[in-house]
Amino acid sequence: MPPPNRPPVRLIVNADDLGISEPINDGIFLAHRLGLVTSASIMPVGKAFDHALERLADVPHLDIGIHLTLVAEEPLIRGNTTLVNGGNRFPKDIGAFLMAYLTGGIRLRDIHREWTAQIEKALDRGIAVTHMDSHQHVHVLPGIADITRELADRYGIPFVRMPSEPFKGYMLQDLHSIRRLVGEMVLKTFCLMIPRNGTLQRRGCMPRFLGFFFGGRLDSEGLKRILASTVPGETYELMCHPGFSPKEPEYRQWNYRHEGELMTLASPRLRCELEANGIHLCRFWDLITDVQRIPHATT
């Protein structure tokens, strides 16, 4: 038990990729009903967006944010756009996207149009959007971060993920660990380039970010290490990827351990253990003092 006067850690457990695949949707909802997941980010361009939407009424206490997308899926805006390849799809992976973006092959105005359409699709379907992040974290790239800020301001979205995870000693393990650390260093650099006095940095007292290092591979041991690094009185967002194994080969090739994360996170026992140890699960909604900032919000 924690000391009686120690302030609790507040933890938002956010599942990315809701709407990308039906088995992943089902796993996210199960991890919410039984275990730790308190929030999810939905992909308006996902093949299983409608499947997820049909089930949201069954999970009224699950926060929903928008998972903005520019990689691998089909865009909402067709024609006269630099965001697609010959097959009417976004670049196949983050490497292909970065190559196109950094060499001037993608127009910022096309990103603005596409993301506007993605946000409005979610709002038009009645989703009370509490937060915003993106597939492969592209929303913090130079130039794109300005679009992210402008859209968050326009639509009154209180929280925008800043994917800058603190370095910890356990991150030095093997070759995979080094690759993840390099990726995190790049993300951290992009986050540092965003002005501290800008609305993207200061909006809504954004929780500290956790989970990139164990992305797609979060297990019980990794979760213990993450939670041991938290500071009493602080609020954190833990990114995760629970789900049943997707049927689609393009998602299987990520080599994410969706079902392993699901087993870790869909645990009523672990939920009770966290509460007993001073870690309180919460939602982005719990951090909002003015619900009128959320479009289409209902109470």
The first and second tokens of residue 161, run together, are 């993920």
Q: Say yes or no to pLDDT of 297 above 80.
A: no
Q: Which pLDDT score is estimated for 85?
A: 81
Average pLDDT over residues 171-199: 75
Q: Work out the pLDDT band at 189, boundaries 50, 70, 90.
A: confident
pLDDT in the model for residue 202:
46
What pLDDT, on the 0 to 100 scale, is given for residue 291? 42
What percent of the chain clears pLDDT 70, i.e. is strictly above it?
89
Of 118-122, 129-133, 179-183, 289-293, give the lowest mean pLDDT range.
289-293
pLDDT at 172: 67
Range 198-206 average pLDDT? 54
* Residue 2 covered by a domain: no
pLDDT at 186: 85
Between 37 and 202, the higher pLDDT residue:
37
- In angstroms, the CA 41 to CA 188 distance is 21
Task: Answer whether residue 178 is part of any domain.
Answer: yes
Q: Does residue 290 register a pLDDT over 60?
A: no
Answer yes or no: is 1 within a domain: no
The region of weakest confidence among 75-84, 215-224, 272-281, 290-299 is 290-299
Kindly write down the DSSP assignment for every residue of 58-122, as one continuous string: G-TTSEEEEEE--SSS--SS-SS-SS--TTSS--SSHHHHHHHHHTT-S-HHHHHHHHHHHHHHH
Residue 298 lies in a domain: no
Give one DSSP letter per residue of 176-231, joined into a string: HHHHHHHHHHHHHHHHHHS-TTSHHHHGGGPPEEE-STTTT---HHHHHHHHHT--
Identify which has the larger pLDDT, 61 or 4. Answer: 61
Q: Determine the pLDDT at residue 201.
A: 46
CATH classification at residue 79: 3.20.20.370
In this prediction, residue 293 carries a pLDDT of 46
Contacts (Cβ under 8 Å, ≥6 apart) of 272: none
- Name residue 97's amino acid: F
Mean pLDDT of 216-244: 94
d(CA 186, CA 168): 16
- pLDDT band at residue 299 using 50, 70 and 90 as cut-offs: very low
Q: Does 154 reside within a domain? A: yes
Q: Residue 156 is part of which domain span?
A: 9-293
Number of domains in the chain: 1
Q: Quick one: pLDDT at residue 45? A: 98
Q: Is residue 45 a part of any domain in this protein?
A: yes
Q: In this structure, is residue 3 part of a structural domain?
A: no
Look at residue 4 and tell me if it is in a domain: no
Q: Quote the CA–CA distance of 96 and 62 in Å, as a whole number.
A: 33
d(CA 226, CA 149): 29
In degrees, to the nearest 5, what angle opens at C-alpha 115 toward C-alphas 51 and 211? 70
Whether the Cβ atoms of residue 67 and residue 134 lie closer than 8 Å to each other: yes
Q: How confident is residue 178, by pLDDT bands cut at 50, 70 and 90?
A: confident
Closest CA to 42 of 135, 156, 110, 154: 135
Query: Would the pLDDT of 238 be above 70?
Result: yes
Burial class from Cβ neighbours inside 10 Å (0-12, 13-18, 19+) for residue 148 reads buried
Residue 61 in tokens: 């206490």
